[in-house]
Amino acid sequence: MNKKTHFGYKEVDEKDKSSHVGGVFSSVAENYDIMNDAMSFGMHRLWKMILVELAAISDKDSVLDIASGTGDIAKLISKDFPNTEIYMTDINMDMLSEGRDRAINESFYANCHFCQLSGEEIPFDDDAFDVITIGFGLRNFTNKEKGLKEMRRCLKKDGRLLVLEFSKPLNPIFSKIYDWYSFNVLPKLGSMLANDSDSYQYLAESIRMHPDQETLKSMIIEAGFSNCKFYNLLNGIVSIHVAYDE
Ligand SMILES: C[S@@+](CC[C@H](N)C(=O)[O-])C[C@H]1O[C@@H](n2cnc3c(N)ncnc32)[C@H](O)[C@@H]1O
């Protein structure tokens, strides 16, 4: 029997999940940046700045940004640390092309490489990177455990992994308001701004299916990292996990 996993709330064959996810991101690629600003009231920009701050990057570091999409994280790193070497990567060519075009248009391509790859099977050597970042990508993986082990393998000793992802709000009242917003407002915004409510319904569902802060921390340790701590942002709607391999 085929192994099953979740695509939002739907149960699908494991082997089919990445093409379902691919469909979502190919559909949203063109409007991704506008939607991100609208849905988060621009707050995703601040969350990404905090991630880069926590990454404690040095000027000559090599950085792998997984699930880069349109390249917000790579852009911040490239501008602040012009001597780093940044690999901007994504499984989806439509998203990666948006990111590459933006890097050219906004002049942050000089220290960037662009690679289409899956974070679940990273085609780089062991110990290749000082820093690995992933923003809002892990939730979409078919096999998160496998992806985290791959990240661990590709990090140098003393390297840092930073995972920015939706998580679980701490306050139950806040959580109810957030649920209402996610299932009533998000799909409508998707429909109005991008003519695509289904992808934003998937967004809301995939967030609910993603492990909470403590569970993700355990998964990161299970993947071989020796130390992991997380920071809750906006009452835990979003968290940043920082993992080290000491
Ligand atoms: C919500 S976007 C995040 C983009 C960007 N990091 C940001 O924070 O704005 C999620 C991205 O993850 C990518 N993705 C999904 N599954 C992936 C996988 N297994 N490996 C690499 N990228 C993946 C999608 O193609 C999409 O571009």
pLDDT in tens, 30-63: 999 999 999 999 999 999 999 999 999 999 999 9
Question: What is the whole-number distance in angstroms between the Cα of residue 224 and the centre of ligand 1?
Answer: 23
In three-state secondary structure terms, 129 is: strand
pTM over 0.95: yes
pLDDT surpasses 80 at 73: yes
CB of 141 sitting under 6 A from ligand 1: yes
Based on the number of CB atoms within 10 Å of its own CB, is 195 exposed (0-12), middle (13-18) or buried (19 or more)?
exposed
Q: What is the mean pLDDT of residues 143-152?
A: 98
Question: What is the whole-number distance in angstroms between the Cα of residue 67 and the centre of ligand 1?
Answer: 3
**Rounded to the nearest 5 degrees, what angle is found at the Cα of 159, between the Cα atoms of 153 and 140?**
60
Which residues make Cβ contacts (< 8 Å) with residue 70, sequence separation at least 6?
29, 32, 33, 95, 98, 99, 102
Map tokens 């000793």 to a residue.
157
pLDDT surpasses 80 at 220: yes
Dig out the tokens for 17 from the structure. 């999940």
pLDDT surpasses 90 at 245: no
Computed over every residue of the chain, the mean pLDDT equals 96
β-strand 62-66 against 129-135: which pairing, if any?
parallel
CB of 112 sitting under 6 A from ligand 1: no
165-216 confidence digits (pLDDT tens) = 999 999 999 999 999 999 999 999 989 888 889 999 999 999 999 999 999 9
Of 26, 91, 163, the residue with max ligand 1 atoms within 8 A of its CB, to mutate for a pocket test, comes to 91
CB of 155 sitting under 6 A from ligand 1: no
Query: Phi/psi at 67 (nearest 5 deg)?
Result: 55, 45
pLDDT band for position 145 (cuts 50, 70, 90): very high
Nearest-10 crossing angle of helices 14-28, 32-40? 90
Task: Determine what percent of the chain falls in helix, strand and coil, rounding each to the nearest 5.
Answer: 50, 25, 25
Nearest to 224 by CA among 167, 139, 150, 162: 150
CB of 137 sitting under 6 A from ligand 1: yes
CB of 99 sitting under 6 A from ligand 1: no
**Rounded to the nearest 5 degrees, what angle is found at the Cα of 178, between the Cα atoms of 42 and 19?**
75
Map tokens 């190919």 to a residue.
26
Which residues make Cβ contacts (< 8 Å) with residue 244, sequence separation at least 6?
158, 159, 160, 161, 225, 226, 227, 228
DSSP letter for 204, please.
H
Question: What is the whole-number distance in angstroms between the Cα of residue 78 and the centre of ligand 1?
Answer: 19
Question: What is the whole-number distance in angstroms between the Cα of residue 29 and the centre of ligand 1?
Answer: 11
Domains and CATH numbers, the chain: 4-244 (3.40.50.150)
Output the residue whose Cα is nearest ligand 1's atom 7.
Answer: 135
Ligand 1 atom nearest the C-alpha of 68 is: 6
CB of 65 sitting under 6 A from ligand 1: no
| pLDDT value of residue 1 | 72
pLDDT surpasses 90 at 70: yes
234: left (phi over 0), alpha (psi -120 to 50) or beta: left
| pLDDT value of residue 194 | 86
85-124 confidence digits (pLDDT tens) = 999 999 999 999 999 999 999 999 999 999 999 999 999 9
Output the residue whose Cα is nearest ligand 1's atom 27.
Answer: 69
